[in-house]
Amino acid sequence: MTCLHLLVTLGFAVSLGTTVEVQRPRGVPLTKKHFYEENKPFTCLDGSRTIPFDRVNDDYCDCKDGSDEPGTAACPNGSFHCTNAGYRPMFIPSSRINDGICDCCDTTDEYNSGAICENTCKELGRKEREVLQKMAEITKEGFLLKQQLIEEAKKGREEKQGKVTDMQENKKQLEEKVEALRTVKETAEQPEKEAKERHLKAWEEQKAAIRLEKDKAKMAEAFSELDDNADGFVSVSELQSHVELDPDADGTLTETEVQGLMGGAAQVDTSTFESVWTNIKDKYHSESQPEEPAPVETPPDEVKEPVVDNDSEPYPEDDISEEDDEEEDDEDDYHEDDDKAPPTVKTPEKSQEDEEAMPPYDPDTQALIEAAQKARDDFEDSEKALREMDDQIRNIEKELSFDFGPDAEFTYMYSQCYELTTSEYVYRLCPFNRVSQKPKYGGSETNLGTWGSWSGPENNKYLVMKYEHGTGCWQGPNRSTTVKLTCGKETVVTSTSEPSRCEYLMEFTTPAVCQEPNNTERSPHGHEEL
Amino acid sequence: MAVISIERMGLLSVVCVFLFFTSAFAVDRGNFKTCDQSAFCKRQRALKPGQSPYRALLETLELSDSRLTLQLINDNNKVHLLLELYRLQGNMTRVKINELKPLKPRFEVPDVLISEPPTEPLSVLSKDDNGVVLSLGVENQRLIVSARPFRLDIMEGPEVLLSLNSRGLLAFEHLRLHKDTQAQTDGAEVKESVDGDQQQEEKDEGGERDKEEDGLWEETFKSHTDTKPNGPTSISLDFSLPGVEHVYGIPEHADDLKLKTTDGGDPYRLYNLDVFQYELYNPMALYGSIPVMLAHNTQRTMGIFWLNAAETWVDISSNTAGKTVFGKMLDFVQGSSEKPQTDVRWISESGIIDVFIMLGPKPSDVFSQYASLTGTQAFPPLASLGYHQCRWNYNDQEDVKSVDQGFDQHDIPYDFIWLDIEHADGKRYFTWDPHKFPQPKEMLQGLMDKRRKMVSIVDPHIRVDSGYKIHNEITSKDFYVKNKDGRNYEGWCWPGNSGYPDFTNPEMRAWWASMFAYDQYEGSMENLFTWNDMNEPSVFNGPEVTMHKDALHGKWEHRDIHNIYGLYVQMATAEGQTQRSGGVERPFVLTRAFFAGSQRYGAVWTGDNAAEWDHLKISIPMCLSLGLVGVSFCGADVGGFFKNPSAELLVRWYQTGAYQPFFRAHAHLDTTRREPWLFGPENTALIREVIRQRYALLPYWYQLLYQAHKTGTPVMRPLWVDYPKDTATFTVDDEFLIGSDLLVHPVTEEGSRGVTAYLPGAGEVWYDVHTFQKHNGAQNLYIPVTLSSIPVFQRGGSIIPRKDRVRRSSACMENDPYTLYVALSPKKFAKGELYIDDGHSFNYDTKKEFIHRSLTFANNALTSSNLCPDCNFLTSSWIEKVLILGASKPSKVLLKVDGKETTVDFEFDTSMSVLTLRKPGMNAGADWTLLLQ
């Protein structure tokens, strides 16, 4: 049976260098000392029963709440207090008393186990102070940085808001301008259209006249050809030799058919031939030219025309994201539309028949066209400017809509990316956007989640970021990443891990979470003991 | 971890392996053979009973003192067999049948029997032309050898206990030459296949006309062709068990405790296989095989041990199987009807017939009989009875550290944290991933500082890689299994292309053991133990995901040794662990594959189960079946390996697993993390509570393992083992006993509000261990449950020592005091034991350094007396409290130690009749008496 000291004398140095001795049962904190009065019956702290004082710390559990055995492992629910002079006092479950493992740096938990423990409190205290000091420095500096960040964010936000307001104003003007230019354009296009039509009409008339003359010449020529006997008349028989005129295309041109062509007349002279010519001119083959020089209708050669490929617009180089298919509202995306295709200057088309080419516009018309084109260009330019402005406004508004923290201290991370290279992968955290992983030595990038929400504990949700709906895992969920934020001077991803399949964890330091250094900073020593 | 069942897989298609993982959660039955697809099983099963061609040649009978030999002849083909009969000490009979003159030796399984079983004299009582009657020595037991047809009957008095070849299904395919040339001469009536077949065989002598579909000389399953250079070699024998309706054992199957009849379905199959996502309630083979069957009725328990390591099928039929309860009642009322009988038939692909008939008569006799043949459960280090935290995989040292800290933060005890295959460098076992585990010793030291331990996995497939020391040494020592052409056998497993060391080779095993030396296994320390997985062996691209049967282990085919390969792996590993400490420290090795005798080497778990309620349920009959045939240290993956358990299922599984011998949580790589504290504070508290219950009971568990080690008695056992005359217990497998004294009925139904537990024992009482409420035995008790309930009862008449001060790990509890839970029988009697040793060394055995005490409560006195007076061990543990359940209030309690008397304070709870003795304080190793006056 173990022999236990009921009371221990606890001596510890305080910062002044004096030694205070306080007697109390083992494992009892000073704050509870008054419950344990020597030689008076002890009442369990839950009031459940009262026992003789010699049953306190007698290595047998009498109180349901474990309060009679603060210094032994007898109660399953007890707790032991180590003073840890030089370091931090703490409570440990009483099951760790005399279990052969040194838990308290002052070794008080292993008083009867044979475990050889060294008092490491001073060392721990020193280290902790160092760490705390360092932390304090970091916190201090971080907090300063955070103020700057807040300031910047505030400024930035104001700027942006101002910008949006300005832009909204400008947008209005721009809209008006677009409307004005639309009117100008439409006004300029009306005379242009009329002039063009006039020009076209004149040209059509001219063409018709030329055609008529040509026809007449042909007719005369035909007449003389047909009039084999040169008697000034074209007879039925003379016409009958032109089988190609056969109206029913049965290969023979009968007399009756010819008569039909000739309007019932037996012969016609030059003047009456005109009506016959109308009937036959489409089929008539000149005798002088064995093959009809039929106007060769070359199909318009499309291949030669420059192909305007609207799809091959180069992608903006600064956004190669493949996976970012969800929230794709980059301004770059729509910025050069087909309707902005340069107005094709009409080069006179090469025609077989030069005489049929439209003559250039007269200077007046040309002037009107140029004026209209300019109006059109102006209008389109302004419309584009308006769209761009819309995009810009939308982007800024989107940015402004993010929850960048209570003081917008996380604003600066927006549109930034932070990388961490491990032995195998390069991890990339783009706050408020996405997390990705790319094999160091080639291979495609994997999306580990896109921005989801702040999901820290209730008292400070800004300590954890959650990125969700990344690339799906085989036989598993979509990848997701939890980013834990800690105070640091620099904004750095310090570690990544995959605690569970496809659930990633990132440690991320930033000044943005640095708390204001506590002015009434608690000393690492357990001064509450005094 | 598991493998997929892909019958054919290109060697480069490791990707496929993973693709298959995504398939539905169910075994692909098509990847595993049915009896019809296993040529010898089909041939053998085609035989009809009642036409045995075998005749005993009584004139050849020779009887030496303890050995009887007799020739048998197959009248169809004139092949002679040699029967050997032995009467073994401890009420057993051994029957061996081999060819009298085989073309070459047939395989006889070595290394399973712990020694040549000692025999007892046999004597001939009478002999005539029809047979011989032998005396078996004890209890007017006789063995009757009938000549025509050959048959053996074991009788006790007028009762036939067991008969061999009573149905005439003895069939012994003799070794023969493959003579293709004559194959067509007389192909007409070619039903020849099994020698015992009634088909005309005389003409066949030497003239095999085996049609390819008979699979005599070659057999193809899916795309794998099994060349059979030795041709047909299968054997079969039937056993009749008059008066028996309940048979058990022959693990491993995911099925009920009581074996079912196999008429109209497949026989139970014994062939160690890596079955991906196994299905429940069917006779398919699983990871391990123990060819031992127990037969039980109210009068007697017997066992049949079929010592054969080849693929084996077991058919069971019963003449009462089809009968309804009403039908049976009718039989009873009418006094009519045949006696119930169970018939069993064993079929193996090769080897010889070597059967041990264990005649009981009590269950405990069968356990000790089987233990006398194959040895007992290894006595594990105490810590291995604590809680094990496993996962595929703890990612790196940091992860291990944070999980370890998690246990402390949540004040949950644990003893072992496990590392699965990802810890090794490229699945090269005995190495560490240099990035994830750069400082294994630092990690192990960190655990040691907390008095905790670790297990790393070491599988038997070895990465073929000339930069890998283990591979190079095995290659240079020529220790790999060979394929049929004599080249190193290679197959696909976790590391990719792998070789398989020939563990049947003792030199190979010795070398393997030497690899566990601290200077060989770099980064290992004394708190690192081992897990042997995939030792069926699993070969991803092999037939049925295992090794080709025509692969060679020395001169034997893999066909002959298949089921014992896994045993050898664990044997060599355990040996290595023992050797590294100079034989001082006990090993701990977990295995997935096993065979008869595996109990000597460590623990077994039930393989890759799933997070499903039915898998939780099946863990009970699966471990009970293993316990009946020697393997006490059994457990199932807590939580279920595949899939994610609901919080409720996880909690229920912890509650069940905490009361099973091997208590380890494990999870598949693709599951979400499930350490005990990840399911909210309420569930964390429930899990903490049940793990603490486990730790409090460690003294009892340890004592039971010691008992199992000494006697072969199962630790976790079916009710009928302790209540063999109570037929109500015979099919119970949703509750079980731990030792004789704790009865557990785990809650295994989702959303359960209550369970009905059967409390056995007319005239006995059981105490609820949580409330101390007393219940009468021989009743079905409805117990309302909440999520925190674990129905556990202590038997009235027992004393269970506990350590109620639960600490971080079992080692931390070493010197803690005991509380004795004395549960009085109605006659105010109780007894129990207390076993104490150092918890980890062999000194209990080599130096008798242990304390073994008998605790008895009788005549109002509780006495501790020494069961091992010449033992010497000192403990600083003491008795802090004694609870006497079902007591009456004494006026005074006196403690007598060393002739001195002191009074002991006590409290009495009248509502539950619980007397609590406060701090008697005597040393746990001392002689003492507590007197209630």
One DSSP character per residue, B356-379 reads: EEE--SSHHHHHHHHHHHH-----
CA dihedral B820, B822, B823, B829 (to 10 degrees): 160
Please check whether residue A509 is in contact with residue A487, taking contact to mean a CB–CB distance below 8 angstroms.
Answer: yes
Domain of B923: which CATH number? 2.60.40.1180
Interval B414-461: pLDDT, tens:
999 999 999 999 999 999 999 999 999 999 999 999 999 999 999 999
Task: Please tell me the distance from the alpha carbon of residue A181 to that of residue A452, in angstroms, as a whole number.
Answer: 44
Report the residue of chain B nearest A98, measured CA to CA. B812
Task: Say if CB B911 and CB B851 are below 8 A apart.
Answer: no
Which residues are CB-neighbours of A528 under 8 A, at least 6 positions away? A30, A31, A89
**Residue B366 and residue B436 in one domain:** no
Closest in B451, B673, B805 to A76, CB measured: B805
Asked if B826 and B922 sit in the same domain, the reply is yes
Question: In chain A, how many domains are there?
Answer: 3
Q: What is the distance in angstroms between the Cα of B406 and the nearest Cα belonging to chain A?
A: 13
Q: What is the CATH number of the domain that holds B665?
A: 3.20.20.80
Which whole number is the average pLDDT over B73-100?
A: 96
Sort out which chain A residues have CB atoms less than 8 A from B880's CB and list them: 59-60, 74
Looking at CA atoms only, how far is residue A442 from chain B in angstroms?
Answer: 19
Q: Is the peptide bond before A98 cis (omega within 30 degrees of 0)?
A: no
How far apart CA B176 and CA B228 sit, in angstroms, is 12
B399 is catalytic: no
A99 vs B921: CB contact, 8 Å cut-off? no
Taking residues A388-414, report their average pLDDT.
89
Chain B CB contacts of A501 below 8 Å: 669-672
Virtual CA dihedral for A31, A32, A33, A39, nearest 10 degrees? 170
More confidently predicted of B199 and B668: B668
Binary contact (A503, B921; C-beta < 8 A) = no
Residues of B in Cβ contact (< 8 Å) with A113: 815
In the predicted model, what is the mean pLDDT of residues B543-555?
97
Report the CATH number at residue A418: 2.70.130.10
Last residue of a domain, one of B325, B352, B374: B374
Q: Which of A99, A497, A499 is the closest to B807 by Cβ? A: A99
Question: Is the domain of A92 the same as that of A172?
Answer: no
Assess whether pLDDT exceeds 50 at residue A433.
yes
Hey, are the CB atoms on B806 and A1 less than 8 Å from each other?
Answer: no
Share of chain B above pLDDT 70, in %: 91
Co-location of B301 and B439 in the same domain: no
**CATH code for the domain of B156:** 2.60.40.1760
CB contact at 8 A, B27 and B276:
yes
- Taking CB atoms and an 8 Å limit, are B672 and A1 in contact across chains? no
Q: Largest Cα–Cα distance in chain A?
A: 164
DSSP, res A67:
T
Residue B57 near residue B146 (C-beta atoms within 8 A):
no
pLDDT above 70 for A529: no
Same domain, B53 and B145: yes
Å from B447 to nearest chain A CA?
11
User: Quick one: B57 and B156 in the same domain?
Assistant: yes
Q: Tell me the C-alpha distance between A268 and A209, whole Å.
A: 26
Question: How remote is the C-alpha of B12 from its chain's centroid?
Answer: 36
Give contacts of B 424-453 with A, CB under 8 A: 435, 449-451
Number of domains in chain B: 3
Q: Which of A58, A93, A101 is the closest to B451 by Cβ? A: A101
A245/A171 same-domain check:
yes
A192 and A241 share one domain: yes
Residues of A in contact with B641 (CB under 8 A): none
Average pLDDT over residues A42-56: 96
- Residue B16 is assigned to a structural domain of this protein: no
Q: Is B365 labeled as catalytic in the residue annotation?
A: no
CA distance A106 to chain B (A): 17
| Active-site position among B204, B256, B533, B734 | B533
In angstroms, what separates the C-alpha of A448 from chain B's closest C-alpha? Answer: 16
Which residue from A33, A43, A46, A31 is spatially nearest to A7, judged by alpha carbons?
A: A33
Asked, for residue A318, whether it belongs to a domain, the answer is no
Say how far apart CA A3 and CA B732 lie, in whole Å. 49
CA-nearest residue to B880 within chain A is A60
**Domain boundary at A87, A118, A149, which?**
A118
Q: What's the mean pLDDT in A107-127? A: 93
Residues A430 and A491 in one domain: yes
- Specify which residues B639 forms β-bridges with: none
Cis amide prior to A439 (ω within 30 degrees) = no
- Chain-chain contact of B673 with A60 (C-beta, under 8 angstroms): no
Asked if the Cβ–Cβ distance from B451 to A93 is below 8 Å, we say no
| B921/A95 CB distance under 8 A | no
Per-residue confidence band for B329, with pLDDT thresholds at 50, 70 and 90: low
Any domain includes A142: no
B300 plus B393 within the same structural domain: no
Gap between the Cα atoms of B367 and B630, Å rounded: 7
Closest in B21, B395, B449 to A497, CB measured: B395
Which chain B positions have a beta carbon within 8 Å of A473's beta carbon? 670
Question: Which of B693, B720, B747 is the last residue before a domain boundary?
Answer: B720
Give me the residues of A, 64-83, that contact B with CB < 8 A.
73-74, 76
Measured in degrees and rounded to the nearest 5, phi and psi for residue B167 equal: -100, 0
Q: Which of B343, B608, B637, B804 is catalytic?
A: B608
- Residues 866-885 on B with a CB inside 8 Å of A are 876, 878, 880-881
CA distances from B569 to B240, B500, B507, B547 (A): 35, 11, 13, 15
How many Cβ atoms from other residues are within 10 Å of residue B121's Cβ? 13
- Is residue B549 in some structural domain? no
Q: What is the band of B337 on the pLDDT scale with cuts at 50, 70, 90?
A: low
Domain boundary (A254, A281, A308) is at: A281
Residue A499 contacts B where some CB pair is shorter than 8 Å: yes
Q: Which tens digit of pLDDT belongs to each residue from B378-413?
A: 999 999 999 999 999 999 999 999 999 999 999 999
ipTM entry: 0.89
pLDDT at B98 over 60: yes
Range of the domain at B415: 384-457+608-720
Put simply, the answer to whether B808 touches A499 (Cβ < 8 Å) is no
Residues B95 and B353: beta-carbon distance below 8 Å: yes
| B421 and B343 housed in the same domain | no
Choose between B27 and B526: higher pLDDT: B526
Is the pLDDT at A318 greater than 50? The verdict is: no
Question: Does a structural domain hold residue B303?
Answer: yes
8 A C-beta contact, residue B6 and residue B539:
no
Residues with Cβ within 8 Å of residue B91, at least 6 apart in sequence: B138, B358, B359, B360, B361, B365, B369
CB–CB of B815 and A499 under 8 A?
A: no
Instruction: With a cut of 80, say whether residue A261 has pLDDT above it.
Output: no
Helices of type H across B214-344: 325-334
Tell me which residue has tokens 């509502």: B911
- Strands B123-128 and B119-120, sheet pairing: unpaired
Chain A contact for B317, CB < 8 A?
A: no
Q: Do A505 and A417 share a structural domain?
A: yes
Residue A101 touches partner B, C-beta closer than 8 Å: yes
pLDDT of residue B324: 55
Average pLDDT over residues A470-492: 89
**pLDDT for res A320:** 42
Domain boundary among A266, A281, A296: A281
**Residue of B602, B634, B561, B560 whose CA lies nearest to B458:** B602
Per-residue pLDDT for A353 more than 80? no
Q: Is the pLDDT of residue A348 over 50?
A: no
Which token pair is A462?
């800004």
Is B135 in the same domain as B269?
yes
pLDDT at res. B417: 98
pLDDT for the residue numbered A306: 43
pLDDT band at residue B494 using 50, 70 and 90 as cut-offs: very high
B918 contacts A96? CB cut-off 8 A = no
Q: Can you give the residue range of the structural domain that contains A28?
A: 22-118
Co-location of B328 and B437 in the same domain? no
Closest CA of chain B from A458, distance in Å: 16
Same structural domain, B361 and B435? no
In this complex, which of B398, B808, B817 lies closest to A99 when CB atoms are compared? Answer: B808
| CATH value at residue A174 | 1.10.238.10
3-state secondary structure of A461: helix
- Residues B211, A47: Cα–Cα separation, whole Å: 89
* Whether residue A250 is found in the same domain as residue A165: yes
**pLDDT over threshold 70, residue B878:** yes
pLDDT one-digit tens code per residue, B602-612 = 999 999 999 99
Boundary-marking domain end, from B720, B736, B767: B720
Query: Within chain B, what is the greatest distance between any pair of CA atoms?
Result: 98
Interchain CB distance below 8 Å, B880 and A475: no
B216 min Cα distance to partner chain A (Å): 43
